[in-house]
Amino acid sequence: MSSHYDVLGVSRDATGEEIKKAYRKLARTLHPDVNPGEDASDRFKAVTHAYEVLSDPQKRRVYDTTGNENGTDNGFGGGSYSGQGFAFQDIFETFFGAGGGQGGPASRVRRGQDALISVRIDLRDAVFGVNKKLEVDTAVVCPTCDGSCCREGTHPVRCDICGGSGQVQRAVRSILGQVMTSAPCGSCEGFGTVIKDPCNECSGQGRIRSRRSLTVKVPAGVGTGTRIQLSGQGEAGPAGGPAGDLYVEIRVNNDATYVRDGDDLHASLNIPMTAAALGTEISLDTFDGQQEIDVRAGTQSGEIITLRGLGVTHLRGHGRGDLKVHLQVETPGKLDAAQEDLLRQLAQLRGEHFTAGKLAASGGVFAKLRDRLGNL
């Protein structure tokens, strides 16, 4: 069994950078996507394993001292190719050129895009939260080829035109004379490999469009414009790339009864003039069921009764806003003779005179609020 240094073709005192360079060079020619042979596959595993050990200073030290990476003396023990502890990002970048500027082939595999969907909910659902079922239409990994883009049993093959580098050299004349520039290979679109036998279902894209339903947990307290992020539920990337995120944007329907201001709810309640004068108890139908409210004797139009904690749940933190009931006193419009007579007697008893009035700000707080907030 040759040493890890031999496998990578570097000396025992090679620097980390030299080891990385050697590995990258070998991996490019041995990677199964480029070199489908059985031999290459085994060598690729051995090379990757050697790199895994030598690129980690601690593992390398153990290997240098004991001759194997387990710190024991039984030469072969546990020398698996599991790749555990190996930085996947590193290998990913090595092959898929995430770092760019290496001049290597581009990757077919890319992260998918984020998706945005908007959903309408009722005010009650914003108050308490709701599980909402959604239909989403996104790209998903092709179930037939599992994102490989290839028909079953086939692999991408090295591009003949660029030799797998994904780049072609071109001579360009400039004022400095002839210079060579590289451009993505037109034959393989810069991927370095060509899919000769594309998967039928996805036409070699590795993903298809699909409609699916999912349930999103809308938390209590959301408002119009709140976005809920569902990671990995967006568009699947090309060639089996990871999916982007799905953003669900909330729109809250206007409610027939309540107007929302922050986490408070406002509603208007009309009470007869006599009830306002004499006081009464009224049963109100709220999001939290029937609530008894006391209208005190002598209530004026525009007074507000606050029901603590019956508003919208705070999105962050605990508790809820308040429900504010704006009382509007109704003056009777049509009086019959007997009623009119009674009111005249009342006015006389109270010693009321019809005098010139004094102007004051009026119009009702609730009416103003509705003007300000209406039709959000």
Among 201, 245, 255, 288, binds Zn ion (CB under 5 A): 201
Minimum separation from the CB atom of position 91 to Zn ion (A): 24
Q: For CA atoms 223, 227, 233, 239, give the dihedral sign.
A: positive
Helix 38-54 × helix 16-30 angle, to 10°: 160
- Taking the least distance from each CB to Zn ion, the nearer of 144 and 224 is 144
For Zn ion (CB under 5 A), the number of binding residues is 6
Dihedrals phi, psi of 277, to nearest 5 degrees: -75, -40
Q: Return the CA Rg of the chain.
A: 37
Structure-block tokens of residue 331: 């003056």
Asked if 236 is part of the footprint of Zn ion (rule: CB under 5 A), the reply reads: no
- Taking the least distance from each CB to Zn ion, the nearer of 189 and 201 is 201
- Taking the least distance from each CB to Zn ion, the nearer of 90 and 201 is 201
| Long-range contacts of 52-58, Cβ-Cβ distance < 8 Å, separation of 24 or more | 52/83, 52/85, 52/86, 53/4, 54/4, 54/5, 54/8, 54/10, 54/14, 54/19, 55/16, 55/19, 55/20, 55/23, 55/90, 56/85, 57/16
Residue type, 52: E
Among 141, 145, 185, 218, binds Zn ion (CB under 5 A): 145
Strands 323-330, 264-272: pairing is parallel
- Taking the least distance from each CB to Zn ion, the nearer of 144 and 226 is 144
- Considering only the stretches 103-111, 116-124, 140-148, 272-280, report the one whose residues sit in contact with Zn ion under the rule CB under 5 A: 140-148
Minimum separation from the CB atom of position 246 to Zn ion (A): 22
- Taking the least distance from each CB to Zn ion, the nearer of 150 and 248 is 150
- Taking the least distance from each CB to Zn ion, the nearer of 104 and 237 is 237
Minimum separation from the CB atom of position 230 to Zn ion (A): 24
Minimum separation from the CB atom of position 95 to Zn ion (A): 21
Minimum separation from the CB atom of position 201 to Zn ion (A): 5
Among 29, 70, 113, 144, binds Zn ion (CB under 5 A): 144
- Taking the least distance from each CB to Zn ion, the nearer of 207 and 266 is 207
Q: For CA atoms 337, 342, 348, 354, give the dihedral sign.
A: negative
Q: Return all residues near 287 (Cβ < 8 A) that are at least 6 apart.
A: 124, 127, 128, 265, 310
Minimum separation from the CB atom of position 158 to Zn ion (A): 21
DSSP states of 179-229:
EEEEEE-TTTTTSSEE-SSB-TTTTTSSEEEEEEEEEEEE-TT--TT-EEE
Minimum separation from the CB atom of position 109 to Zn ion (A): 14
Asked if 106 is part of the footprint of Zn ion (rule: CB under 5 A), the reply reads: no
- Considering only the stretches 143-151, 153-161, 296-304, 330-338, report the one whose residues sit in contact with Zn ion under the rule CB under 5 A: 143-151
Asked if 150 is part of the footprint of Zn ion (rule: CB under 5 A), the reply reads: no
Closest among 208, 215, 166 to 187, alpha carbons compared: 166
**H helix intervals, the chain:** 4-8, 16-30, 38-54, 57-66, 88-96, 123-128, 273-278, 337-350, 365-373
- Considering only the stretches 109-117, 133-141, 193-201, 358-366, report the one whose residues sit in contact with Zn ion under the rule CB under 5 A: 193-201
Among 141, 199, 259, 271, binds Zn ion (CB under 5 A): 199
- Considering only the stretches 57-65, 119-127, 139-147, 334-342, report the one whose residues sit in contact with Zn ion under the rule CB under 5 A: 139-147
List interacting residues with Zn ion (CB under 5 A): 142, 144-145, 199, 201-202
